[in-house]
Amino acid sequence: MRELRTCPVTGRVVLLNDHWVDAPAAPVAAREAGVPEEPCWYCTYAGPVIARMGDITVAPHPVPALGIEGDPRPTVVAGATRRQGVGAHELVFGLHKGRGEGPLLAAVAARVTDLRGDQRLRGFGASRRAAPGAHAAWQLFAMPTDLETSLPAGWRDAERAHGERILEDGGATTLLAWAPRVPFEVWVLPAQGHARFDRSGPEVIAAVAAAVDRAFAQLSVAVRGAPIDLVLVESEPWRVELLPRLAGPTAVEVATGVPVHGVFPEAAAHYLRDARRVTR
Ligand SMILES: [Zn+2]
């Protein structure tokens, strides 16, 4: 079966093809859990610190993609817009074997609240590449431009009523993305409401963080320890996307901008629910 799907939230198009060569997703060698042999960069971090919140350290990225100095007002050159890369690029990390996503996401939310005080900063995003045994560190970006926001609440409620792609539904809703860019793309959203990330309250952040921990553990087994990108997306409501990195972009994606792979989200949901039954 070949199907082009448009994401009802982002408008992105993906191509699903269950004869594609990666079906089922090609396993990547598992990485050993535990403390790495090389000294861990975050454990030995000696740079300036912006804030400490319990075990959590907030620090500027040593090679920041954006800098806080400058004037972000746009100018026009040859009919095109340019502006200085004013913004923030920070690291948020805890201890090597931390206590899960909860304290990390709470610290990221506190930093977004602080950074909103700078009128030049408009769009916020964060991501981290997660792998078993690796030190968890979020990279937080504040941009001088608005980032595209979406309104997934209506779609979330329709998915909750439908149920086929739902993995878990409690204080947070965990589900397979309708139009997954990669095999096993999972979204975790607050189960209720439309709130932006740092305005949704500590209980909601804790509920989403706990659901992300569970989804990560389950996905990590399914993709055999391949790295999983966690992406914090500001929307109404916000969400955390989990994107396993099994392979680079294909020729189809390079040529057309449309990702292609072989794992339908319905099949992924059935697989993950079955795996959970077996391990119980
Ligand atoms: Zn470490």
User: Domains along the chain?
Assistant: 51-67+83-143 (no CATH), 148-279 (3.30.428.10)
- Using the predicted structure, report yes or no on whether residue 25 has a pLDDT greater than 70: no
Strand partners, 60: 90
* Residue 32, token pair as written in the block: 């050993």
Query: Which tens digits make up the pLDDT trace of 10-22?
Result: 888 888 877 665 4
Provide the pLDDT confidence category of residue 279 given band limits of 50, 70 and 90.
Answer: low
Q: Where is average pLDDT lowest: 37-41, 82-86, 106-110, 266-270?
A: 37-41
What is the CA(57)–ligand 1 centre distance, in A?
A: 12
What is the CA(18)–ligand 1 centre distance, in A?
A: 39
Query: At residue 188, what is the residue type?
Result: V
What is the CA(104)–ligand 1 centre distance, in A?
A: 14
- How far, in Å, CA of 176 to CA of 174, rounded? 7
Using an 8 Å Cβ cutoff, are 131 and 225 in contact?
yes
* Residue 212, token pair as written in the block: 């992300």
Query: Which tens digits make up the pLDDT trace of 233-277?
Result: 999 999 999 999 998 888 999 999 999 999 999 999 999 999 887
What is the CA(187)–ligand 1 centre distance, in A?
A: 27
What is the CA(58)–ligand 1 centre distance, in A?
A: 14
What is the CA(137)–ligand 1 centre distance, in A?
A: 9
What is the CA(97)–ligand 1 centre distance, in A?
A: 8
Of how many residues is the chain composed?
280
Query: Which tens digits make up the pLDDT trace of 27-81?
Result: 333 334 444 456 788 998 888 999 999 999 999 988 888 888 888 888 888 888 8
What is the CA(87)–ligand 1 centre distance, in A?
A: 27
- 3-state SS of 33-101 is CCCCCCCCCCCCCCCCCCEEECCEEEEECCCCCCECCCCCCCEEECCEEECCCECEEEEEECCCCCCCH
Average pLDDT on 148-164 reads 94
Residues having C-beta closer than 5 Å to ion ligand 1: 40, 42-43, 96, 135
Average pLDDT on 147-154 reads 89
Please give the full DSSP string across 210-259, using - where no structure is assigned.
Answer: HHHHHHHHHHHHHTTT--EEEEEE-SSS-EEEEEE--S---HHHHHHS--
What is the CA(47)–ligand 1 centre distance, in A?
A: 15
